[in-house]
Amino acid sequence: MKNKRGFASDNNSGIHPDILEAMQNVNSGHVVGYGGDLYTEQARQLFKEHFGKESEVFFVFTGTAANVLGLTAGTSSFNSIICPESAHINEDECGAPEKFSGCKLLPVETHDGKITEEGVKKHIYNINFEHHSQPKIISISQASEMGTVYSISEIKALADFAHQNNMYLHMDGARLANAAISLNCTFREMTGEAGVDILSFGGTKNGLMVGESVVFFKPELYQDFKYLRKQGMQLSSKMRFIAAQFIGYFKNDLWKKNASHANNMARILSEKIKNIPSVKITQKVQSNGVFAIVPKAIIKSLQEAYFFYVWNEDRGEVRWMTSFDTTEDDINNFVEILKVEIEKLNS
């Protein structure tokens, strides 16, 4: 349990100093609780700038909560939600979506964490048939859990398909900033303008202490959402401190700097290792994660130097996530150790 640097997850990093300062800036006097304060309103207006006037934001504590409550807002309990098998909502939320929404999740196998119309269609049948959970949401992650990124036209295609089938498109944007950097586009172009109806927009993985949000692009989806958030145990009493983090996040394009840096670190890491024999990069490096197969025998030693998670035990596939505070030294040291370990193995 010793603390050490690593590539385990972008949430192993701390709070960016500018974010901490933003929190300090609002820490004086009394303000109304639960979001009825001026800072929360200021943050809300910033979201409207970035996501469009018609959008509406609600702050929550975790990415799981953002996903679960956003999905619940768009469904009835007899609906189903189509997503990649590797989706965070399917793999890593301990059944929270099912428990809270009552819905069924319909996984689609993918190679790169991205679904296509083709994969979604497999689950579109028995419509209007009361014995069968009725598909109502397609959920995608941008960037995906495999570090890949949907192009805007890919998002539009899924949104069109969803809307043609009386469904909504949900986007899990725990790493939306990294994707925006990758596509060199605005948040709005990638979300509301591309047809996204419900967005989980996260900050924690990119420098915040704790701050996630649900952004809706259709009024029908959020008119009663304040009750769902409260009943979902996600209404912060001292909301100003979540608002302040997002204010700091948008200020001076901090989100952009942080995400650019993290993406760059991943790119550099991947470039430095791509020609190392016995190392095989398994996914396109489009955001801040590198997936690679390495000799199983060296994984433990590597983890002792820089902590990270094994993604697939059978294949010996590992995941290296970079963060706003990853340094080039981290990369260089790690690549050095990797090379040494592989040499050891071959000698």
Q: What is the total count of residues that contact its own copies (CB under 8 A)? A: 86
The CA distance from 48 to 215, in Å, is: 10
330 or 341: CB nearest its own copies: 330
User: Cβ of residue 95: shortest distance to its own copies, in angstroms?
Assistant: 4
Please, which residues bridge with residue 139 across strands? 170
Closer residue to its own copies (CB): 67 or 159: 67
Query: How far apart are CB 184 and its own copies at their closest, in Å?
Result: 28
Single out the residue of 305, 307, 333, 339 in contact with its own copies (rule: CB under 8 A): 307
Stretch that binds its own copies, among 86-94, 110-118, 142-150, 256-264 (CB under 8 A): 86-94
Contacts of 332 (CB under 8 A, 6+ apart): 272
Q: Which stretch binds its own copies (CB under 8 A): 26-34, 46-54, 162-170, 252-260?
A: 26-34
Instruction: Tell whether residue 332 is a contact of its own copies (CB under 8 A).
Output: no
CA pair distance 238, 11, nearest whole angstrom: 22
- Does 277 interact with its own copies (rule: CB under 8 A)? no
Which of 166, 231, 252, 332: binder of its own copies (CB under 8 A)? 231
Cα separations in angstroms, 291 against 83, 93, 216: 21, 21, 32
Helix ranges (DSSP H) in the chain = 17-25, 38-51, 63-73, 88-91, 96-101, 117-121, 152-164, 176-183, 187-190, 219-222, 225-231, 240-250, 254-273, 296-305, 328-346
Residue 28-67 contact track with its own copies, rule CB under 8 A, x = bound: xxxxxxx-xxx--x------------------xxxxxx--
- Cα Rg, the chain, nearest whole Å: 21
**Residues 218 and 169: beta-carbon distance below 8 Å:** no
* 230 binds its own copies, rule: CB under 8 A: yes
259 binds its own copies (CB under 8 A): no
